[in-house]
A and B are shown apart, each in its own frame.
Chain A
Amino acid sequence: MSSITGEDVTIGHDDAHGHDDHDHKPEGFLARWVFTTNHKDIGTLYLVFALLMFFIGGSMAMVIRAELFMPGLQLVEPDFFNQMTTMHALIMVFGAVMPAWVGFANWMIPLMVGAPDMALPRMNNWSFWILPFAFTMLLSTLFMDSGGPAAGWTLYPPLSLQTGDSFAFVVFSVHMMGISSIMGAINIIATILNMRAPGMTLLRMPLFVWTWLITAYLLIAVMPVLAGAVTMLLTDHFFGTSFFNAAGGGDPVMFQHIFWFFGHPEVYIMILPAFGVVSEILPTFSRKPLFGYAAMVYATASIAFLSFIVWAHHMFTVGMPLEGELFFMYATMLIAVPTGVKVFNWVSTMWKGSMTFETPMLFAIGFVVLFTIGGLSGLMLAITASDLQYHDTYFVVAHFHYVLVPGAVFTLMAGAYYWLPKWSGNMYSERWGKIHFWLSTISVNVLFFPQHYLGLAGMPRRIPDYAPQFADFNMWSSLGGFAFGASQLIFVGVVIHCVFFSKVKATARVWEGAKGLEWTVPSPAPHHTFTHPPTVTASMVAHGEDH
């Protein structure tokens, strides 16, 4: 209560009422963490879980890069290598990036819209606690006789149907992840639509809230489609149906259509919240309102809409009619327009700003630059005629890693550094944060940039061995990979130091240029906030005047 500073007085008044019962955290580990319905605790659980999965999925990537360090088979059997590529993707997509974003949503959305908690706290508990079981099931397949899934995360039949009995575990774990995501999404939509503080109109909401609102709709629309697709795989595998079995009159290509109808919105599910975080951080450290707030909202909505009509660009080589290829090519390239709007708005936000380069800002700027590289290689892939050559090569691997690692993961790091002082009440070590940023940025480019050349030279993806002419670039890529993996340990060190050992206390506002409701509560954010709703005025929100 005492840490509310003078500039926060308008809201501090509302807040003060509830202060006596603020920090009544439940006693005992079980009550505090397992039975918790507190959005901040659940957010922390999500984030810790995602970080754990990030390192499990990351260690699988280290196995992949170690095997690919030089030509020939050195370390692992080809089948295990395939299990590593498949599991790495499943763990990173469903275990690391998505839960991390839900963790951010849990922590920040109630704070940003002035709500006391998520709309459905008990469901919130359930949607988190399903996840450890889902991933235990998924990871346990690695220790089964028939091994883990090895057909790639896309689970294309007929190859995926050759997985042994452990396939059932994979399908059910995907079901559980889907249920968790759908419940999380419903909760987020209900919170945003029903729980906003008076005065927090839709077009006053921070962009992180906006991007998550749209992401949540995408989740509800497509996670059930994935559930349906894997259910059909399950019945094809175990119950004699022939949805995707050509011998029984089915069609394996149909799976690809259904999968990518889910899969393309899924990639935006991973990146839209990243857009939101960057749109929070850049204005803070540029000390300017976000440029083109309304345009950002509409661009996000456009990207979400377009994501439903571009899926077949993942499958240009299956033998589509020319008209189909052209439609999906043009629709895909159209996405560059709203995305371009966003990139230009971010650059314009920084233009003539009083910029400082704290760690969150560095990661955000790194995102803008490197995500754009990934976006441009995406445009190259969208061109049907060229895609026939790029398809299933390392060029594709380079493309989606550029948008997911220096894209989604960098913004997760940026957001973590940005809000860590709010969460923990302590400042992290700026020096080590910057070391983490520079090592990550250099190594991520050494890791992924050579893969563009490998792909253009014809190296296929998902192979444990390769022709000798690819040796040099693979060695560079592996060295970059090891360095990137090691750099992330610094992040763990910074977080542990910040939370448990840092002596530098954070102020409520934390960053001099920060605006928004989350900076009006003390640091660390008390267990219960906004039990009495604040009244929001235009001047309190990051983008200033109304639109």
Chain B
Amino acid sequence: MMDKRRGDNGRLVLKLLGVAVAMFGFGVFVMPPLYTTFCELTGLNQAGIKRAKATPEGASGEATAARTVKVRFDANTNSALDWDFGPLERSLEVPVGAPAEALYFAHNREDADVAGMATFNVAPPSAARYFVKVECFCFSRQVLAGGERREMPVYFFVQPDLPEDVEELTLSYTFFRNDDPELAQNAR
């Protein structure tokens, strides 16, 4: 009787162990990409912001100038990075569908070379998917020599199908210290 009762233990244990291993894989290998996909779909975080190789075909300032959207520029610096960092202009009225340029500056207050890497975000999240970056200092690691001050451009456009109710967008950056070039590789 006892033996019969213990009969299936081996297979059951293997199955349950399989579930445990699968859940470990779910946590490490499935949830992070799932989270990124979720952010892309909902426009959360930088994962939701598109990059384009060039400005849209046939886009010109006049063609869609009828509608403009106010883009605010925000800048934050992580406490580990002793830089001054900010936009030259606090905001711009940008024609929808047309290429635009904004300038940020960064100033290394240390004496030595310091590398930084910026992350970005667009608010409100529901509008983030219509914001397209063409070129940005945040796409690569920035190295500033000791005491150097540099102006850095960001080229972008707002897609013409931006919902009507969006009148303002905020583009926000946070600069982090980045001592490891490989980290920047992973990041993009």
| Chain A residues close to B by CB (< 8 Å) | 115-116, 119-120, 182, 185-186, 189-190, 193-196, 220-229, 231-232, 240-243, 245-249, 251, 253-254, 257-258, 261-262, 319-321, 324, 531-533
Chain A residues with Cβ below 8 Å from B12 are: 189-190, 193-194
Q: Report the contact-size class of chain B (Cβ under 8 Å from the partner).
A: 35 or more
Pick the residue among B7, B19, B78, B187 that contacts A248 (CB under 8 A): B187
Contact indicator B1/A254 (Cβ below 8 Å) = no
Q: How far is the CB of B151 from chain A (nearest CB, A)?
A: 22
| Chain B residues close to A by CB (< 8 Å) | 1-2, 5-9, 12-13, 16-17, 19-28, 31-32, 35, 39, 42, 44-45, 78, 117, 119, 125-126, 174, 176-178, 180, 182-184, 186-188
Bound CA span A230–B49, Å:
29
Contact indicator B182/A225 (Cβ below 8 Å) = no
Most buried by A among B6, B8, B17: B6
Contact indicator A224/B21 (Cβ below 8 Å) = yes
Chain B residues with Cβ below 8 Å from A254 are: 31-32, 35
Chain A residues with Cβ below 8 Å from B5 are: 115, 194-196, 533
Contact indicator A225/B177 (Cβ below 8 Å) = no
Q: How far is the CB of B121 from chain A (nearest CB, A)?
A: 10
Contact indicator B178/A249 (Cβ below 8 Å) = no
Q: A231-B28, A240-B180 are in contact. Are A189 and B16 (CB under 8 A)?
A: yes
Bound CA span A465–B42, Å:
40
Chain A residues with Cβ below 8 Å from B2 are: 116, 531, 533
Bound CA span A247–B141, Å:
10
Bound CA span A193–B35, Å:
36
Contact indicator B119/A246 (Cβ below 8 Å) = yes
Most buried by A among B1, B19, B23, B180: B23
Most buried by B among A189, A224, A232, A262: A224
Contact indicator A120/B13 (Cβ below 8 Å) = yes
Contact indicator A220/B16 (Cβ below 8 Å) = yes
Bound CA span A321–B35, Å:
14
Bound CA span A180–B9, Å:
18
Interface of A is mostly: helix
Q: A-B pairs with CB below 8 Å: how many?
A: 120
Chain B residues with Cβ below 8 Å from A195 are: 5-6
Bound CA span A249–B32, Å:
12
Q: How far is the CB of A374 from chain B (nearest CB, A)?
A: 28
Chain B residues with Cβ below 8 Å from A533 are: 1-2, 5
Chain A residues with Cβ below 8 Å from B19 are: 220-221
Most buried by A among B16, B31, B182: B16
Q: How far is the CB of B187 from chain A (nearest CB, A)?
A: 3
Bound CA span A254–B28, Å:
11
Q: How far is the CB of A304 from chain B (nearest CB, A)?
A: 14
Chain A residues with Cβ below 8 Å from B25 are: 228
Contact indicator A247/B177 (Cβ below 8 Å) = yes
- Extra contacts besides A227-B27, A321-B42, A533-B1 (6): CB < 8 Å: A186-B13, A190-B13, A194-B5, A221-B19, A224-B24, A248-B186
Contact indicator A182/B20 (Cβ below 8 Å) = yes
Q: Which residue of B lies closest to A179 (CB)?
A: B20
Pick the residue among B9, B31, B174 that contacts A194 (CB under 8 A): B9
Bound CA span A221–B39, Å:
25
Chain A residues with Cβ below 8 Å from B39 are: 251
Q: Which residue of B lies closest to A245 (CB)?
A: B183
Q: A116-B2, A254-B31 are in contact. Are A249 and B24 (CB under 8 A)?
A: no
Q: Which residue of A lies closest to B26 (CB)?
A: A225
Q: A120-B13, A186-B16 are in contact. Are A242 and B1 (CB under 8 A)?
A: no
Q: Which residue of A lies closest to B125 (CB)?
A: A321
Contact indicator A240/B182 (Cβ below 8 Å) = yes
Q: How far is the CB of B154 from chain A (nearest CB, A)?
A: 18
Contact indicator B176/A246 (Cβ below 8 Å) = yes
Contact indicator B13/A228 (Cβ below 8 Å) = no
Bound CA span A249–B78, Å:
14
Contact indicator A225/B13 (Cβ below 8 Å) = no
Chain B residues with Cβ below 8 Å from A245 are: 183
